[in-house]
Structure formats: structure tokens, C-alpha cells
Structure 1
């Protein structure tokens, strides 16, 4: 074999081009008879003004998947009719950027539009009898509003003239539609009753996303519209509302402690009464809830850094559906056929990119079986080996994380270490194919870095006590947990203590800013969409009430706890060269937070660079922006941790 041929056969690290151009499936929907799975296939980046995606279908038994829609528009949310003969979906094919509802025969053909409205839509679903479709539709601009905008007579008065997301019901055959949710109320999620005559809705007084951290109300409305019947109120959303088949109960996910996050599953009578927890004492985290046949629930759950599936009865009995220990990561959407025996998911782990997998409960030892393979070139690349690591932080506190070893790792050799911290903070890193603009592990491991992705206290997957540990100690226990993980890898002889880097996005950006204000041990940092000032961020972001999960009260009542845990208070101690990245249209963490950190470091003479991305929000979508971000992250760490690579 020639030298160049031999070299080409050796796996190479993932390129930036591969990271930003591959496609990933999502939203797997199994047909009622369990024979086919429809799903959305979407590029990981956006090249044009509007996103593009296509609906695909694959057989449960295996075979080549086939493209169901052309992919020239943004086609998503495929939904099988109860008889399996039709597939409804959302698409902006009539006007780019504005969705409407379409139906196609399940075997293909022309799409028929069944809703004369178009705009922002989501959560499409059939009624159990197949006669109706429901969808959440945000009130569009009025003609008067359009005219005022054209005439530039468009002064805005904040917190007035809301555009509510309301529930519409479409009569498929008659071609008529009606808004059935109460006027002046925001619908965040809903569920059909088994008889198709009623719908359960989760409502808030305004469409501000901040409302989901305050009091929410669940009501029942008739399919044809009418006065809502209250069921219950609670702090936070009733997520993944699901009816029992007898129509007597609703199941949902809700908080189990102070933190507003759906840790546990509850059941409540539709006619009113007290909720009953179906997962008391569960030491994992419920992440999603779906119907499983006629008599049970399908629960997607985090358990440490891995995920699993459970059959959850309406009495609270849990049965693991997969043989063996949990391994890998499930996307939140998992669907079962009408019998509850066949299940479709999107699954991934550190070696397998996300794809559609299936599970049959009829098997003696149920295991996942792959049904698509969209990115073989990614899996064939030189990837870092994953090790699940655990270490002790404070006495008696065990912390878990993912260690991606550098490609070509040799025991006894020290490597530059990058610690990438997750967002949230009520979130976690799981056993995943970490290769996007947002997850850097495989890209860095292919270039000689060890990468630690820790789940410090405040993370999910370890039960409510662990995820609620930040209350009154924001930045404190997290910092100790992360630094203990760094020391653990130094003690093992893996991390070079003179070549440490840290970075993260969103709350990971907050922790990055906090860390460089608390220690000089790191030689490079990347703060993505981070917040160095907890007080100013509370007034600039769109979810200030989320802070009440972690602080006793607002900064306007008592600013000192917020300032005490703000990097900006201690920024004079910082010496770490810091790259700051931010979307210019970010509403979750305002770009001003990145600017505040940049000006502080620049004023203090600390090496820094501030890069902002036009049109981008809290996540980075456009292809060229993703390319720029990935190259900058790698370049920044190379420059400061591996200067020999940069000349």
C-alpha cells in the first residue's frame, strides 16, 4: 500500500466542516400499528435565512429510510392519524418563516393544507378519533399593526398588546378551525382526553417565558370551545400532560423541591383533588413522559450521566424497559405504538451519532436496534475515548462527569485539560456524541486535549436533593465540585496542571466567569453567553424568576447575595486570558453581559477578545457563525495551552 493510501485509511480528527454540516434526526413518531417511524431530519446549522428540514420514514423492521417530504422548506412535527393512513405535519412552504398545517397520505402524494392561518405554530396532534387536529398558534399581527409598522408609527409599550399562543382545533374534513383556549391566556402545552371531547391546558397570564417559573394553572376546555374548568394550580409548568385511558386522571412532570424543574411525575384527579407523586424518592430525574399503550406511561429518565426508559404505571410501579444498565442518551421524544409494545427513539452515545433506534418489548431481552445511520463518517473519525469518572468533593459528596481522553492517549503522559461546564444550571452532561458548536469534547480530543465535562451539584440525574443543592450557595458548591475534579485528574497523571483551560455556554459561561475571578490556575477561558453580573442580568434576561430557584428573594429586595456570587465583584483578581462569545439577539442572557465582562478585563489589562454574532439568539444557528465559533474556541485553547501548535 502506498504511503498516501495508508495515511488516508487512518482515522482523522473531526473537521470543523464535519461538525457544522451533518444532519441529525429528531422527533421520532411510530405509527399506531408499529410498522413505521416518521421523523424530522435537520441540518445542524442554517445556511440561508430560513431553516430547512425534511420528514423521513423508516420501517420498524429495518431497511433504508426514505425521504417523505422534499426538504425545500421547514417541514417538521410529523404526526400519524390514529388509523395510520395519513401523516399531518407543520410546514412553511406557503410562506417562508410562517408555518401552517398539512396532511399527506401515509404512502406519499400531494400535501393538502388544512388550516387557513399561518405563523408561529407548534405541538401538532390528532384527536383520538382522527376527526380533528389541534395546534398551538401565536396570534399574528393585525392589519392595523402592519400598517403602523410600514408607516414607522411603531412605538412599543412594554408588557401590553401581548401576542398569545392559543390552542386551535381544526376540523379536518370540514376545513374549519377555531381557537378554543381562553382569550388573554398563554397556552404552553396541552393534551387530548381519550374521548376527544376535552383538552387539558397549562396556562399562564402572559406569554412572557418568565411566567413558567411562577404560578401556572391547568384547566379543561371542551373541544368545541367554552368556559374552562379549573383543575389545579402550581409553581412551574405541568409538563408532558397525559390522560389516563378512563379519563379520570392527569399525569404530569413537576418540581420536587425549590428548583422549578420537572424532576418527579405526579397524578391528579381531573375532577379536582390532591396530587399523588408516582416517583417518590427517585434518585434520577424524569425528563419526559408519554403514553404507553392503554394502561401505563413511558418515562424517559436521567440516571447519572446515562439515560433509560421506564414503564410507569398509574399506581407508581416502575419497570425498566431496557435489558442491562442504562447507557447513552435519549432525546426527550419517545413514542410507542397503540399496543405499547414497540417504541421508537433517537439515541446516541460517545461513539454513536444521534440516529433512530427501536425497541420491542416482545423480545426476551429488550435491546435497542438501529434503524438509521446518517453520519457514518463522523463515527469513523478519530474520536476521544470516553471514561465515566467520579471523585469526592466536599466530604461525602461524590461528583460524576465525562472524561474524553485525547486521541492516541497514553497512560502516564500528561495532557492539556479543558473543563467544559454545562448550562442550566438545572441540566446535565450525558453520555453523548459531543460534536457540535455547543459540545466541544470530540473536536478538542482529536487535537490532543483531555476534556472533562462535570456534573457538579445543581445538575439533574441525581435526584432532587442534588439538583436543589445550589439554593443559598450559587457558585459555591459548583466551584468546589469542579476544582476537585481538576485535582482528581492531576492526581491521576492525566491533566497537566500548567495547561488548564475552562469554558462553557450560558450557565457554563457564568461559571467560567466565576472561576477566573476566583483562581488563577487556568491559563485560558472561553465564556459563551455568560453572565458575570447576577444583578444586572436579572433585569436584562427574559427569565428573572428562575433566580428564585436559587436565591431567597429578588435582587431588588436583597441585592447582596446576588452581588456576592457575581464574578464582576472579584474581577480585579482575574488574570486568565478569556475569549467571550455572544449572540447579538440573545434574550436569555443579554449581550450586555458579555460586554460587561469584556470591558472589565480590558480595563484591568487581562488578555481578552469579544466576538458577537449578528442575528443569533442564545444558541448559534448560522453555518458560518458555527464555523467561526468552533475555530475560535480551538484556536484560543491552542494559543494558550499548546503554543507549539500555533507557532
Structure 2
């Protein structure tokens, strides 16, 4: 399989999918089971080696026995033409090739000799690509925030929270005991340089650490009052660009997110940006005269006050300090991008239900030849002008591909073969669906059919609403507790995935129309889509269900106050009111934009766009879930909804997942139980 070309691979997959579409053939293959679906390996990233002759691949897989997810690294080499597992201990993430290609550095919570069982310090480790054991860059209990190799491969630059000295730690314990000082205890970051560790087994944790709690061989370049979220040394190591963020990790002030420039000796820093956007993705031009970065969808822009527009790419000329927006004529959303050794910018662009690769210039862009589906995480940084990327469709699991020519992704070969079980099971089928909203706008979504049921009418229908809201459901693979549409289809549901007002990939105007009517405007879009599907005979009006997580849960909570047509609802991590949610959410400034200001500036909107004030209209049996450690949507929002439904005698149940934040990424059993019970709920109240 690793030697196949992308076009050949896709052609074979298409034939397989068409064969699966035949009812008889679909019956010969069993549908995917819950256990198989929830055991899928997620491909989370891939990095090309400097030579272009190897790639390191990141995955996440459920470890059911140990109640955790395993984050692992895999290595593909052109010489062996095989992909083999590289790490076997702890959680391994953020792989980075050394510029000379001899090493891979990564973060891991693996233990050092002397660590306690409950120690989960994320240190930076390094592994030789020609074999040997991984070694830590340092043994101190300093959790890395981000790191990057020095251009000469002699060591790394990394950021950690400014540690307290021994004396400061003692004084804090004496004065404050276990009391949390909400803002006062926040500390910024250190930017440090560390040399490559000696090639020897990991040392035991030093019980007599220096008074400042820093590695003895660390060179501190600067102390920042803000967090340092990304580091990008210039190609010749004269300068270091870095991105800042709030030390609290709460997105309360756009001014916390800016780009700075310092030197390898720690001179400066100089601030390069001053705006209300959340910058990310720093990359240097090969000549070191420009810096590229992106602003993801719903992260603001450099063009004015904060508002949720689509993803953008910018370049800073370091001589003139002029900032240019690239590919500005693209009507979709720019996502991840890469800069090749000759300066070519290649980006993934989301447009409707498709995410393709593009060559991006000053204003214009060129779509590269490829297949329908979703391309992601392009990496063209190798010296040999290769292009590495991820690719998937609704029915084809995500795999890693490598193209010898970065402008011809259609001639790529596939390097991985994760999740083969899905090709052995009956495949769902899908089509786009468009409808007219009440204001004349065209809205689009996805219809995912049970295997062998494409085009059939009068099916029981589950409306599954994506989160964000700046996201879009499209032709890409998903198999987890959040994206379980194809599993629901395998269980006999027609799954409707609406890309309502506020979704990305449909232009800035479409995305901006969610404000200040954060639920009522997209809510109309969704209900009008359901009505159109009922009217055209696709959906059985007597068997309608609805659900979603995060903003999808927020919308579900609202919609069951607007209609009684849904016989069942499943909602997770959704807010039912806006004032406390604004105060608790770690993304407060975009909440305020959605609702036209703070609670005291626009109190009427905060009330009119909240489900709790219309909750007495609800009759829909509702299943509620949430993590009790969620820092984005407090689990008290789910408890508030449960209390109201209990008072109203509406059938309901509530599950709280201990220790889980907004994503359910701590214990795979939590996501498994969530989906298992939601499927039961849909069948009980809407499926019979």
C-alpha cells in the first residue's frame, strides 16, 4: 500500500465505495460496531524530514485497559518504505525534526527514574533517528509550553512558565497554603536555550535542584510577562520570532496575542504586530526576510476590531514592517499552510464541504490538482521539494501522503494504512443538500445515508449540529465521541449535518451573520433545512431527532425551546444562558462579539438568545452530558438544564464525566459511554 499513487488509491477506493452502495453488497458486509468505531486511530499530524526521505507521524488511540489515550509517534522512511512505531512509553506529542535530520525531539510525560507514579511533567525528549533510547533535554519538573530546534541542530529553544525559586515556593506555601489566587498567581514564561543532551540513559530526577529550579545548562534569553505559545528561529539563527498569549490561558484580551522578535542573544524583544487577532502558525521565508503567519477562523483579523471572520494568511516584511494579506480573494477559509524551500506557500483552503490544497500568492491563488475530499496539514519544508499532507473523505480514514512534486498532490503516494476495519464494513453514502432560508440565503449541509440507502425516502433522521460555530461539516473522515455521524448512519439513521449561518467555508458575510443573534439566526437555518427535508420526503416527520456538542449542544438546547417536532435530543457541553457562560468561558472576547457586547452593554440580547428563559416550552426527551472540569462551558450549564427539565417533568438524564475538560480526551471510556447511551436514547424516543 505505501507505494501506491494517490490517484490509484482513490480510484480503487471509489470503486469500493460504489460497490458498497449496492444494497446486496452492503448486506454482505456488516455495519461498523460501536467497539470498532470508538477504537479508531486518529492521525493527529505528520512532519517531513529535512531530506524529504522520512516522515514522523503522530497518532492517538484509546487504551481501554489503562483508561487513557495513547499518543504515539511513527516513523516512515523511503529506504524501508514502511511505517513503524517509534515510541512505546508515555504520551508522545509535538515531534520536531532537527535541521540536520539526525534527531527527532518531542514532548512526553514519560517518567524519569525517581519520578512518582502521579508525576505527569511534559518534558522535551530527543531520539536519534538511527536508533537508541530517548533522552530528556532536562530532568527538572518544568512543563514545556512550546519548543523548536536551533538551526544548527545543537540544541533547542523552549518556553516554560517562570518557575518559583526554592525560597519563593516556601514563602507561598507558608502564606497561602492551598488557596488559589485567581490572577495574582499567574506568571509569564521564560524563553531558554538548551544544548543537545549527552547520549546516555535518562538521569534520575535531581533532588537537590538549583535554587532557581532551572537546568544548570540552560541559557535564559528573556522573561516575558505573557505566555510564549510558539517559537520560530530564523534560518540563520540571528533572530527568534515568538507568539505570545495570556499566562492564564484564558482568552480575555486580544492584545495578549501578538508576534515579537528577539535575538539568539536575548536582545529585545521588539513587537511586530498590534491588532485584535489571535495569530498562530509562525513560519520564516527561506531567505529570512519575511515572517508568515495565519489567523484561524473565528480568531479575528488584522483589518479592524475583533469579529469572527474566516481563516487568513499574512506575511510581515521585516525590513519595511509592512504586513500583507495573502490570497485575499479566496472566498473560503484558509486553514494550515506551509512554506517550501523556494518560498512557495501551500495552504489548505476550506470551501463549502471540500478542503483542497492551493498555491497562495499575494492576492490570488491556484487550486492544485487533487481528488474530492479533505486535505490537511500540508508540510513542504523539506529541502527536496516534497509535500507531505493528510487526506480523507467521509468513508476513507485519514492517511498520510507524500508527493515528490509539491504542486502535484494528485501524484502522491500513501504512507500509512490506519483503520483498515472501515473498508471491511458496510459504508454509508452521502450527498450535499441545499435549501433556501427565510431571508433568501442559500444554506448547505451534508446528508449521510445508512449503507445501501442513498436516495431513499421517509427515513428516520438525526440532525447532528457541528460545534464552533466557525467550522463546517464536509467530505472528511470522523470517528470519535464528537464526530459519530457515520456510526449513527450505520445504525439506520439518515444524518443531517447543517452548515448554518456562522459556519466557515462560505464567505465572511455568511460567517458574520451569526452576530448578535447567536442562536436564533442559525436556529432558523437548521429548522428550515429540516422542514425542506421533510417536505421533499427524505425525512420521516414522526421520527426526527437532534443533537450536538459544544456549540452544537448550545444550539440543541435552544432548538428544543423553539419546536416540539423532535422526538429526542442529545446535548453536550452546551450553554442555556449567556451571562454566567460569558464570565466562565475561557474565550470571553468572542462571546461578547457574538452577543453585541458584554452583559451590561446588551442585557436584552443576553436574555433573548438564551434557552433557559424559554425552557417551559420544551417537551422533547433530552439526554445531557458534560465534563465536570470544562473551562469553556461550565458543567453547571448542564446542571441548570437538568434542573429545569426535572421541574417541568420532561424525560431526561444527565451524565457528568469526572476530570474531563471541554474535549473528552482523558479517558476513552467517557466518550464510549456517551455515544453508547446517546444511541440508545435516540432509538428509545425517536427510532421506534
Q: Same fold (TM over 0.5)?
A: yes
Find 1:275's aligned residue among 323, 332, 341. 323
Deviation at 1:55, TM superposition (A): 1.5
Gaps of 5+ in 1: 1-5
- Distance change in 2, residues 1:239/1:103 (3 Å): same
Deviation at 1:187, TM superposition (A): 1.5
Where do residues 613-624 of structure 1 align in structure 2 (5 Å cutoff)? Answer: 613-621=657-665, 622-624=667-669
Where do residues 52-451 of structure 1 align in structure 2 (5 Å cutoff)? Answer: 52-60=70-78, 63-69=81-87, 71-93=88-110, 94=112, 95=115, 96-139=119-162, 143=166, 145=169, 153-172=177-196, 176-204=217-245, 206-211=247-252, 213-214=254-255, 216-254=257-295, 255-256=300-301, 258-260=306-308, 263-271=311-319, 273-313=321-361, 315-323=362-370, 327-331=372-376, 333-339=377-383, 341-361=385-405, 366-409=410-453, 411-451=455-495
- Distance change in 2, residues 1:633/1:52 (3 Å): same
Equivalent pair of 2:255/2:274 in contact (CA under 8 Å): no
Find 2:577's aligned residue among 533, 542, 551. 533
- Distance change in 2, residues 1:111/1:14 (3 Å): same
Find 2:34's aligned residue among 16, 27, 36. 16
Equivalent pair of 1:190/1:201 in contact (CA under 8 Å): yes
Name the counterpart of 1:639.
Answer: 684
Deviation at 1:260, TM superposition (A): 4.4
Deviations 1:385-421 (A, max 9, x none): 1212222223441212111102231644411111111
Distance in 2 (CA, whole Å) between partners of 1:9 and 1:61 is 42
Distance in 2 (CA, whole Å) between partners of 1:180 and 1:519 is 59
After TM superposition, what 4+ stretches of structure 1 lie above 6 angstroms from structure 2? 6-9, 146-152, 362-365
Distance in 2 (CA, whole Å) between partners of 1:529 and 1:517 is 17
- Distance change in 2, residues 1:495/1:226 (3 Å): same
3-state SS of paired residue (2:487):
helix
Name the counterpart of 2:14.
Answer: none
Deviations 1:97-125 (A, max 9, x none): 21222222212212222234444324432
- Distance change in 2, residues 1:575/1:62 (3 Å): farther
3-state SS of paired residue (2:663):
coil
Equivalent pair of 2:63/2:668 in contact (CA under 8 Å): yes
Equivalent pair of 2:429/2:454 in contact (CA under 8 Å): no
Equivalent pair of 1:43/1:52 in contact (CA under 8 Å): yes
Deviation at 1:206, TM superposition (A): 3.6
Equivalent pair of 1:297/1:312 in contact (CA under 8 Å): yes
Deviates more, 1:49-58 or 1:385-394: 49-58
- Distance change in 2, residues 1:161/1:349 (3 Å): same
Find 1:32's aligned residue among 28, 50, 53. 50
Deviates more, 1:267-276 or 1:303-312: 267-276
Distance in 2 (CA, whole Å) between partners of 1:137 and 1:478 is 41
Distance in 2 (CA, whole Å) between partners of 1:205 and 1:510 is 26
- Over the aligned positions, Cα root-mean-square deviation in angstroms equals 2.7
Deviation at 1:142, TM superposition (A): 5.8
Distance in 2 (CA, whole Å) between partners of 1:33 and 1:56 is 17
- Distance change in 2, residues 1:62/1:462 (3 Å): farther
Deviation at 1:135, TM superposition (A): 2.7
TM-score by length of 2: 0.86
Name the counterpart of 2:60.
Answer: 42
- Distance change in 2, residues 1:61/1:551 (3 Å): farther
3-state SS of paired residue (2:257):
strand
- Distance change in 2, residues 1:208/1:261 (3 Å): farther
Deviates more, 1:241-250 or 1:618-627: 241-250
Distance in 2 (CA, whole Å) between partners of 1:260 and 1:182 is 32
Where do residues 577-596 of structure 1 align in structure 2 (5 Å cutoff)? Answer: 577-596=621-640
Distance in 2 (CA, whole Å) between partners of 1:107 and 1:74 is 21
- Distance change in 2, residues 1:412/1:250 (3 Å): closer
Deviations 1:196-216 (A, max 9, x none): 121112224543321464553
Deviation at 1:436, TM superposition (A): 1.1
3-state SS of paired residue (2:643):
helix
- Distance change in 2, residues 1:502/1:25 (3 Å): same
Distance in 2 (CA, whole Å) between partners of 1:118 and 1:196 is 28
Name the counterpart of 1:486.
Answer: 530
Distance in 2 (CA, whole Å) between partners of 1:136 and 1:495 is 53
Give the total of aligned pairs.
633
Equivalent pair of 1:259/1:467 in contact (CA under 8 Å): no
Deviation at 1:634, TM superposition (A): 0.2
Distance in 1 (CA, whole Å) between partners of 2:256 and 2:177 is 35
Deviation at 1:593, TM superposition (A): 0.3
1:469 and 2:510 matched: no
1:600 and 2:644 matched: yes
Equivalent pair of 1:285/1:460 in contact (CA under 8 Å): yes
Equivalent pair of 2:380/2:406 in contact (CA under 8 Å): no
